[in-house]
Amino acid sequence: MKPFVVSYNLEDMNINFQGNKVVRRYRDIKNIFLNKDEELEKENPVIYEVFEAPVPENEGDLMFLITILYPGKVKGEFFMTKGHYHTVENTGEVYMGLRGKGLILCQTKEGDFEAVPIEPNKVVYIPPFWAHRSVNISDEPLVFFAVYPAHAGHDYGTIEKTGFLKRVFSKDGEVSFVENK
Amino acid sequence: MKPFVVSYNLEDMNINFQGNKVVRRYRDIKNIFLNKDEELEKENPVIYEVFEAPVPENEGDLMFLITILYPGKVKGEFFMTKGHYHTVENTGEVYMGLRGKGLILCQTKEGDFEAVPIEPNKVVYIPPFWAHRSVNISDEPLVFFAVYPAHAGHDYGTIEKTGFLKRVFSKDGEVSFVENK
């Protein structure tokens, strides 16, 4: 494999990362939200898109991607990603904010929880063993760049069973954390 | 270790990455250039600075940093970094251009060579086993963000002995590659 370069442009949201593209619509992920929304069920909008680079999933390689998480709420709960642990748990991840404003919810299987801000000019480090989910708390698309070991894999199942310890709602125009029961 | 966030601002070049900082001045690295420059020897300017995040050098972690490579030439040869292989050779690296314009020179021990452009809105992938050196071919600081496995290590010695296969000069206002003999 040779070195290569890919490009992106946030002004026209043209992201040429040349790899796999993942699109998650409301109906694909509606179960991650506390409540159901009939309007969103009908419209089935895109909640987020992931543009991956064409890196093989080999140990030693690094995958990188750009995520666009659109603004919106499901009965007051901010749009968010599914969130996951890495299958190979001893693997970290680096996020760089490119546009919009959000939170990265992080937690461990031991019950630690952190919410870390992400926005332009900020870089977030998610150490090995921490699950991570992105939440868009702004009125514009939240766009961020991420890098992780290409062999890390995605364990979505654990989060599907337990959820994250807290949910993030808009309440009277403020960001409000709600314990997940 | 908990998740954390660091910040940077390119308008005032304020980079709060909270980790180790490396400064390379002309006299520290003059041997990497083909010719000597008496003016630079006297002034001993900073050629580049590296701002690292406070990530431990453990397998599974990812180091990230911002490099500022200043504009300038040594008898026509563009300012550049020392360049290195990773000590743990099966480790890739991701570069994102933030400001300025440059080239990433990449080569393998088998004699492959590539020069890949780096600038804002571009992301460069350097696969495992490829040495890499940055060259500033613009008139402003070249600033880029880099991520690599934290246990990778730096093998500068191999490049000190062999150099890169090509050098990059300014010739009649154009970028010119010269075989390294």
Interface test with B, best of A52, A103, A121, A164 (most B CBs within 10 A): A121
- DSSP line for A122-153: EEEEE-TT-EEEEEE-SSS-EEEEEEEETT--
Give exposure, B55-83, as e/b (b: 16+ Cβ within 10 Å): beeeebbbbbbbbbbebbbbebbbbbbbb
Q: What is the pLDDT of residues B55-104, one digit of tens each?
A: 999 999 999 999 999 999 999 999 999 999 999 999 999 999 999 999 99
> Cα–Cα distance between B5 and B106 in angstroms, integer?
30
Amino acid found at A101: K
User: What is the pLDDT at residue A181?
Assistant: 82
- Tens of pLDDT, residue by residue over B33-58, are 999 999 999 999 999 999 999 999 99
**Complex ipTM, two decimals?**
0.96
Chain B: give the shortest CA distance to residue A36, in Å: 31
Collect all residues of chain A within an 8 Å Cβ-Cβ radius of residue B126: 3
Mean pLDDT of all residues belonging to chain B: 97
What average pLDDT does the segment A117-141 reach?
Answer: 98
Residue B181 — very low, low, confident or very high, per pLDDT cuts 50/70/90?
Answer: confident
CB contact under 8 A, A116 and B3: yes
DSSP label of B32? G
Distance CA B170, CA B156 (A): 25
pLDDT in tens, A147-161: 999 999 999 999 999
Residue-wise pLDDT for A31-69, tens only, equals: 999 999 999 999 999 999 999 999 999 999 999 999 999
The single-letter DSSP state of residue A181 is -
The size of chain A, in residues, is 181
Tokens 């919009």, located at residue: A100
| Smallest Cα distance from A30 to chain B, Å | 27
pLDDT tens string B142-163 = 999 999 999 999 999 999 999 9
